[in-house]
Chain A
């Protein structure tokens, strides 16, 4: 069974940093691209960032480019999101999501974690 478990969320002041983690199990992690998708309270879904199976290709939404960094450790079956210079508008539930097909980055999201809440407020 595929499991994605996010962690690292919390309350943080504007301008500070936070690092999210996603622990994956139940599939061959290094065969799949992985993504972060967020949802502000009461709002819709927003794709944040994605990384290919081998970290060779990475992409970001314009809203986080230059502030957020996605990475993965295939030896640890883990995905990360380093979030710097956080703003109030980054407040959201952050989901880790697994691509549908192997070795495909521009993709659909087959499995999702339960999300980790990030609140940016003074």
Chain B
């Protein structure tokens, strides 16, 4: 199975900051990677798929990059509504489909 490792597990940031979250796959997954945002008490929301494709309706301050084993989610200018937990997910190998452990973005 492909393991997905996110770092950091949490980050404290201020509104307007640039935030970067990384995700590493235990083996190459090409560009088969998605990023999700989850707020407390809510279902996850798809932000990025295919490593860098922005899902419809998602603000352009979110961007994704990477291929192979190393991937990055960047929030260019953190907004109040962006405080949430973010997960990566690989879709290269089924079954299983696997998620990273999550990164909580907190208010500094």
Contacts and interface: CB of A to CB of B under 8 A. Distances in A.
A46 interface: yes
B56 to A, nearest CB: 9
Nearest to B101: A44
A115 B43 contact: yes
Nearest to A95: B43
Interface string A106-122: 11111011110000000
B99 interface: yes
Interface residues of B, number: 25
Where chain B touches its partner, the secondary structure class is loop
Contacts of B96: 47, 59-62
A56 to B, nearest CB: 13
Contacts of A59: 94-96
B76 interface: no
Interface in A78-122: 95, 100, 105-110, 112-115
Interface of A: 35, 44-47, 50, 59-62, 95, 100, 105-110, 112-115
Given A45-B99, A100-B46, 16 more contacts: A44-B87, A45-B36, A46-B99, A50-B94, A59-B94, A59-B95, A61-B96, A95-B43, A95-B44, A100-B49, A106-B94, A108-B34, A108-B46, A109-B36, A109-B89, A112-B43
21 contacts: A35-B97, A44-B100, A44-B101, A45-B38, A45-B44, A45-B87, A45-B89, A45-B99, A45-B102, A47-B89, A47-B95, A47-B97, A50-B95, A61-B95, A62-B1, A105-B94, A106-B32, A106-B92, A108-B34, A108-B46, A108-B89
